[in-house]
Amino acid sequence: MSMNRSGGPVTAAPVGRLIDSLARLPGIGPKTASRLAYYLLRSSRDDAMALAEAIIEVKERIQLCSVCFNVTEQSPCAICSDESRDGAICVVQEPLDIVALERTGQFHGRYHVLHGAISPVEGVGPDKLRIRELIERVERTRPDEVILAMNLDLPGDATATYLHRLMAPMGIAVTRPASGLPVGGDLEYADEVTLGRALKGRRPL
């Protein structure tokens, strides 16, 4: 590897661009991005191409469900199209939260994905989430219950409080999962037993 004038290593331009792209992913810092880039550099061409093709396929084939805004290959998604689902709507922050909730086998309704939580510190207001679509959906479908399955952190609590305030005048039953979930934890990381118990013991707001 050649050196630049300051004595630091010179990275080939394509490798540098790969490192920069990887470093923009959430939870990936510069050092991890560098390790991943050089791992890909050492891997076989077939493995690297398979990864590249998988990324392209996701971008080309995956869309948001027109009803719940979960990621799907077809819209409406399989859950929204399932007539056997009951009349409750579970509101979550991210698509991965649905995966966690479905694993519990305790919820048989439909979902609504906000794609984030209200966080003034990060510049995320209600207008940047799928809140307007949720309120319109609740007004139109009049679900039996709306479960606010937000993360148990400040943005999650702020979002749940905001949504409850909007839906309270509608006369809809609004609940949150029971305590037992770790405070400050993300829903997607909760184990199935804990999450299932939290759903069973949900409390009205």
What pLDDT is stored for residue 148 in this prediction? 96
Angle in degrees, 0-180, between the axes of helices 13-23 and 30-42, rounded to the nearest 10:
130
Q: What is the dihedral of CA 48, 54, 55, 57, to 10 degrees?
A: 140
For the stretch 134-193, pLDDT in tens is 999 999 999 999 999 998 889 999 999 999 999 999 999 999 986 655 544 556 656 565
pLDDT at 190: 60
Would you place residue 7 in the very low, low, confident or very high pLDDT band (cuts 50, 70, 90)?
very low
β-bridge mates for residue 174, sequence order: 146
188-198 pLDDT tens trace: 656 565 666 66
Average pLDDT over residues 41-47: 95
Higher pLDDT, 5 or 50: 50
Q: Evaluate if residue 48 carries a pLDDT over 80.
A: yes
Domains and CATH numbers, the chain: 13-61 (1.10.8.420), 64-204 (3.40.1360.10)
Taking the model in full, what pTM does it have?
0.75
> Cβ–Cβ contacts within 10 Å for residue 6, how many?
5
Q: Residue 180 has what pLDDT?
A: 55
- Residue 104 to residues 74, 112, 188, 192, 197: CA-CA distances in angstroms? 24, 17, 12, 5, 9
Give the N- to C-terminal CA distance of the chain in Å, as an integer.
61
pLDDT of residue 198: 62
- Per-residue pLDDT reduced to its tens digit, 66-92: 999 999 999 999 999 999 999 999 999
Contact 187, 167 (CB under 8 A): no
